[in-house]
Structures are given as C-alpha cells and as structure tokens.
Amino acid sequence: MRVGLYPGSFDPITNGHIDIIERSLSIVDKLIVAIGVSATKTPLFSFEDRAAMIDSEIGALAKQKGVELSVVDFNGLLVDEAKKHGAGLIIRGLRNAEDFEYEAQMTAMNRAMAPEVETVFLTASPDVSFISSTLVRQILAMGGDISPFVPKVVLENI
C-alpha cells in the first residue's frame, strides 16, 4: 500500500490545496492530510473545522477512487509524522520558484533524517498557482471577496 502524507496549515483550505489533494489521489492508496497545529498562532478555523472541510471537499472523491483518506493534526517534525503513519511519501505542492527553493532545502533535511521517506513535488495547476492561505486570510481581513480562491465549504463556515 502506497501511503502519502500531505502537510499544511489548510487555514483555510484553498482551491490550490484541493488541486494538489485531488491529483495526489492518483498516486497513493492512502492519503493522510496532516494539519499543522501551532501553539503560538491563532488560526482562522479550528483543527476540527479544517478537518471537516477537507473531508467534505475530498472525502467522496477519495472513496470513489478507492483511496483511504484521513485527516490528522501534528506539531512535530514532518518526517516523524510520516513515519508514525507509515507514509513513504511526503507530498508537497509547488506554486513557483520560491516554493521550490524552500522545499528543496526542506527535502534535503528530511532525507537526512529519514532517508526511507521520499518527497514528491506536484506543481500547482496554472489557474490556482497564485493562491495561498496567507493571501486569502489577508483578503478576508480587509473585507474582500475570497470566493474565487476557496471551495464553497469555506465560505459557508466563515
């Protein structure tokens, strides 16, 4: 069984996240969406709300494709979380060259700590490559319309 772990804050989950998750379903038998939880940051949505939104958006498609989907929280090392769940793949989305520079460094560090865990990069589809949770939160805080950037379930929970 090929197990993949896709980490992120998912605060909120965006159409960019959905793009990567949907495409991940074709390369794994089990997908673990790992929501990073920080004790020092106040999220827009609770872990439970983020997990419910992810399941609402992806659960049926995962089931249709025969992929087991689970959503977990974590606050430690990513490679430790991958090993804890038996994930041999860490899935990362790349939007641009800056993402690649950061992710390449993280991948090298993760490989040094856990050589048995491979990182797979999926480049964002062009129509969502500019979306980030940070920008979505900023737009929302300034009263802007985030509907083009997030799934409907996020709008229903604001």
What residues act catalytically?
17, 41, 95, 133
Q: Are 66 and 40 in contact (CB under 8 A)?
A: no
Q: Provide the CB-side half-sphere exposure for 128 (13 A, CA).
A: 24
DSSP summary character for residue 127: G
CB 107: neighbour CB atoms within 10 A? 18
Q: Are 84 and 115 in contact (CB under 8 A)?
A: no
Q: How far apart are CA 14 and CA 152, in angstroms?
A: 10
Closest by CA to 78, choosing from 93, 94, 89, is 89
Beta bridge partner(s), residue 3 = 30
Which 3 state secondary structure label does DSSP give 62? helix
The letter for the amino acid at 77 is L
